[in-house]
């Protein structure tokens, strides 16, 4: 899935949900007087009733609109760099398998990507120099496939780490598919 296309789709959906053009929404962020990203996200959620993902993306877009234009690169180049570059094939194999489930959006973050349907169902990114971490959102008690239940209140309810592309197996994909189905 093309990350730029997913962001464009998310922005189009934001326009539909708010009834405002992205340029108007960027102007709203700029004139709010709020400089911190978290404050902007809170304002967008409060004043426009946006979900966290949409508000977060819009705040990032507004920030980028203020920055000088630079050649667009692949966000994965920033995530899988240096000692973590060898993990990228694991990430790509995992995402290729998830794409077989159907449509979803990929929202790049600082050190990982968020996978969303109507809501986030997974996060994927390097945890260490040798492990890719998969976070899942699910209301189930047990995801199996090596997933560990996390304490309440976090970004994800479960996480697992894999160290090779061969670890992208049927059991892992069944667990991710359950979270995917529940998100959308």
* pLDDT tens, residue by residue, 7-17: 888 888 998 99
Tokens 């973590």 identify what position? 84
Whole-Å CA distances, 45 to 30, 51, 54, 73: 16, 6, 9, 29
CA distance 15 to 79: 29
Tokens 């296309």 identify what position? 5
Token digits of residue 123:
């996060």
- Please report, rounded to a whole number, the percentage of residues in the chain having pLDDT higher than 70: 94
Residue pLDDT, tens place only, 98-112: 999 999 999 898 899
Q: Which comes out higher in pLDDT, residue 1 or 157?
A: 157
Band (73; pLDDT cuts 50, 70, 90): low
Average pLDDT, the chain: 89
Q: Whole-structure pTM over 0.95, yes or no?
A: no
Q: What is the pLDDT of residue 174?
A: 95
């Amino acid at each position: 899935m093309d990350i730029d296309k997913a962001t464009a789709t998310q922005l189009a959906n934001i326009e539909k949900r708010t009834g405002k053009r992205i340029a108007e929404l960027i102007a709203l962020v700029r004139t709010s007087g709020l400089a911190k990203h978290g404050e902007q996200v809170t304002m967008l959620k409060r004043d426009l009733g946006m979900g966290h993902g949409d508000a977060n993306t819009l705040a990032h877009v507004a920030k980028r609109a203020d920055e000088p234009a630079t050649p667009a690169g692949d966000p994965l180049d920033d995530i899988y760099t240096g000692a973590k570059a060898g993990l990228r094939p694991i990430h790509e194999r995992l995402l290729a398998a998830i794409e077989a489930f159907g449509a979803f959006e990929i929202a790049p973050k600082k050190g990982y990507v968020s996978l969303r349907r109507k809501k986030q169902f997974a996060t994927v990114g390097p945890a260490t120099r040798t492990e890719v971490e998969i976070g899942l959102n699910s209301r189930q008690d047990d995801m199996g496939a090596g997933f560990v239940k996390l304490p309440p209140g976090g970004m994800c309810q479960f996480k697992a780490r894999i160290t090779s592309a061969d670890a992208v197996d049927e059991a892992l994909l069944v667990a991710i598919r359950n979270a995917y189905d529940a998100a959308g």
